[in-house]
A and B are shown apart, each in its own frame.
Chain A
Amino acid sequence: MDSAAADRPPLLEVEHVSFRYGPLPVLTDVSLAIREGDFLAIIGPNGSGKTTLLKIILGLLKPESGRILFQGRDIASGGVRPKIGYIPQKATHFDPLFPASVREVVSMAFQASKRGLSRRQGEEAAIRRALEVVGMAEAMDRRIGRLSGGQQQRVFIARAIVDKPRALFLDEPTTGVDAGTQDLFYELLDRLNKREGLTIALITHDIGIVDRHITQVACLNQRLVYHGSHAEFCRSDTLKEMLAGGHHLVSHVH
């Protein structure tokens, strides 16, 4: 890891996490730290435990052993909920007839901190600001199901960032999205990371799409095979081994 990165405090620490589905081990003794300002790509072959690790970090699954610390506090102890915006793999696979407007979709993020129909002060302004950041403010009153896949992704980012999370986690966010839209999407994430200082972690099966933007790489194959800076990863044996193994992981690493 480069020294500049090591200076930044860890936002999230995965400590000796193991997980199994029945008898099948999925993750074995995985430890890694995500630091403030990181743009981390989590890569690995199918079935390597990427999504499972993400779900454990988000509190959707309980690890068999090990723990997750968010800003130094164990998320398993009551009251600690990591302030992380999340975009699931199938975010755009919702019921297209669902009658929610873009405004309503973004407003859903405010539910955890409030009750009922009443609006928190400044909420409307925050929704508009988040939609402006992703370039979707004009579509505020449109029905989410009427937008293109790329536009829907932007709205989901707005929902994920509207309540000012410390980090944004995405699971294969551009599956099924065309190449041009993908580029725009990752440029938006890049802006959020570099300008707004948002920590980003994303699972991808194709690091080539994101290699211009990421700072860190974690390579998973049940165990953590590699974790470090992207520059070192490009020089590392891990990359060569993966290429030799025929993994479609790096399409245009320079």
Chain B
Amino acid sequence: MGAFLTYSFLQRALGAGLFISLACAVLGVFLILRKDAMIGDGLAHITFAGVALGLFLRMMPLAVALVFSIAASLGIMKLKERAGLYGDTAIAIVSSSGLALGLILATLSRNPGVALLNYLFGEILAIDTVEVVLSVALAAAVVAVIAVNYRKLMFMTFDRESAQVAGVRVRRLDALITVLTSVTIVLGMKVVGILLVSALIVIPAAAGLLRASSFKKAILLACGVATASVAAGLAAAFALDLPASGTIVLVNLILFGVLAARRTPRA
């Protein structure tokens, strides 16, 4: 473990990975309880188009993806409200369109190969210092915004109508959650890639929800699973020469399995 931490690229990966996984886990608890677990997957596909656009325009793909993803997530929200679509239909429409657009842009940009693959499957070990600082700052901001609105978000997730009567501006908070999800997806993409990012959002949160007797405990447990998975996943990937993204997700899955197996009815 000591040797593991002497490599600066591993230090950077661990620092960014821990913060990003915390943001994913905290947000994930709210998304699952809002029956919105799949929005992570949908927005990740849209992010693919954003990355491809960034590569096409030769601009910073992360920044382009961030703007693209926020715009698309607000689009999903409006589509849901206005078009009267059932459940996940809006997500399916927007995400598949994003993938289609991404594919075309990637082909047009002529040199998509390695760069695009890194975004699809993650490149946490190649993260540079500027990206670490940005990721840590954004992830901390996501967690801070949720902390400030914690009770309002909990209230509206539990009982939307009563929350509204009590003065919670539910539509404003819907938009807030949507934007936070976009930011978190783009960050998570750095750690495990577009194809696996919804795992970072869903698995630790689902594990936290398995065992908790209170909302606070569910969030703390999700954070524990998320950070342990990043640390253990990176260490295992380093020791066994495995891809970091896949290893982190599999460690998440193992921890989820352990908690599910030990689940006992609680009062």
Binary per-residue interface labels of chain B (137-170) against chain A in the complex, 1 for a CB within 8 Å, 0 otherwise:
0000000000111111011011101111111100
Q: Which one, B150, B164, B217, B267, contacts A117 given CB within 8 A?
A: B150
Binary per-residue interface labels of chain A (88-114) against chain B in the complex, 1 for a CB within 8 Å, 0 otherwise:
100100110111110111011111101
Inter-chain contact B147/A116, CB cutoff 8 Å: yes
Q: Tell me, yes or no, whether A183 is within 8 Å of chain B by CB.
A: no
Binary per-residue interface labels of chain B (192-236) against chain A in the complex, 1 for a CB within 8 Å, 0 otherwise:
000000000000000001001111111000000000000000000
Name the interface size band of chain A. Answer: 20 to 34
Q: Which one, B154, B165, B267, contacts A59 given CB within 8 A?
A: B165
Q: How far is the CA of A238 from the CA of B66 in the complex (A)?
A: 63
Inter-chain contact A105/B158, CB cutoff 8 Å: yes
Inter-chain contact A143/B159, CB cutoff 8 Å: no
Q: Restricting to A59-107, which residues have a CB under 8 Å from any CB of B?
A: 59-60, 81, 84, 86-88, 91, 94-95, 97-101, 103-105, 107
Inter-chain contact A111/B216, CB cutoff 8 Å: no
| Interface pairs (17), CB distance under 8 Å | A84-B165, A87-B162, A91-B162, A94-B158, A98-B33, A98-B158, A99-B218, A104-B216, A108-B163, A111-B151, A111-B154, A114-B151, A115-B149, A116-B148, A116-B149, A117-B151, A143-B213
Q: Give every chain A residue within 8 A of B58 (Cβ-Cβ).
A: none
Nearest chain A CB to B19's CB is how many angstroms away? 19
Binary per-residue interface labels of chain A (203-241) against chain B in the complex, 1 for a CB within 8 Å, 0 otherwise:
000000000000000000000000000000000000000
Inter-chain contact B159/A94, CB cutoff 8 Å: yes
Q: How far is the CA of A98 from the CA of B217 in the complex (A)?
A: 12
Q: Tell me, yes or no, whether A8 is within 8 Å of chain B by CB.
A: no
Nearest chain A CB to B234's CB is how many angstroms away? 29
Binary per-residue interface labels of chain A (181-200) against chain B in the complex, 1 for a CB within 8 Å, 0 otherwise:
00000000000000000000
Q: Of B164, B167, B214, which is in contact with the most chain A CB atoms at under 10 Å from its CB?
A: B214
Given A95-B33, A98-B33, A109-B166, A60-B147 contact (CB < 8 Å): no
Q: Which one, A97, A100, A112, A141, contacts B167 given CB within 8 A?
A: A112
With A99-B218, A111-B154, A111-B166 given, can you name 8 additional A-B contacts, CB distance below 8 Å? A58-B165, A60-B161, A81-B167, A95-B33, A97-B209, A116-B147, A143-B214, A146-B267
Q: Which one, A58, A94, A100, A111, contacts B168 given CB within 8 A?
A: A111
Number of A-B contacts (CB under 8 A): 88
Q: How far is the CA of A91 from the CA of B163 in the complex (A)?
A: 12
Given A104-B216, A111-B168, A91-B152 contact (CB < 8 Å): no
Q: How far is the CA of A19 from the CA of B94 in the complex (A)?
A: 36
Q: Give every chain A residue within 8 A of B214 (Cβ-Cβ).
A: 99-101, 103-104, 141, 143
Q: Give every chain B residue within 8 A of A84 (Cβ-Cβ).
A: 165
Q: Give every chain A residue within 8 A of B148 (Cβ-Cβ).
A: 115-116
Inter-chain contact B147/A88, CB cutoff 8 Å: no
Q: How far is the CA of A155 from the CA of B260 in the complex (A)?
A: 29
Which 5 pairs from chain A and chain B are nearest by CB? A112-B167, A111-B151, A101-B214, A108-B155, A99-B212
Given A97-B209, A99-B209, A104-B215 contact (CB < 8 Å): yes
Q: Tell me, yes or no, whether A20 is within 8 Å of chain B by CB.
A: no
Q: Give every chain B residue within 8 A of A99 (Cβ-Cβ).
A: 209, 212-215, 217-218
Q: Tell me, yes or no, whether A252 is within 8 Å of chain B by CB.
A: no
Q: Give every chain B residue within 8 A of A248 (Cβ-Cβ).
A: none
Q: Give every chain A residue within 8 A of B150 (Cβ-Cβ).
A: 116-117
Inter-chain contact B165/A86, CB cutoff 8 Å: yes
Inter-chain contact A86/B162, CB cutoff 8 Å: yes
Q: Which one, B147, B159, B213, contacts A141 given CB within 8 A?
A: B213
Q: Tell me, yes or no, whether A142 is within 8 Å of chain B by CB.
A: yes
Inter-chain contact B267/A142, CB cutoff 8 Å: yes
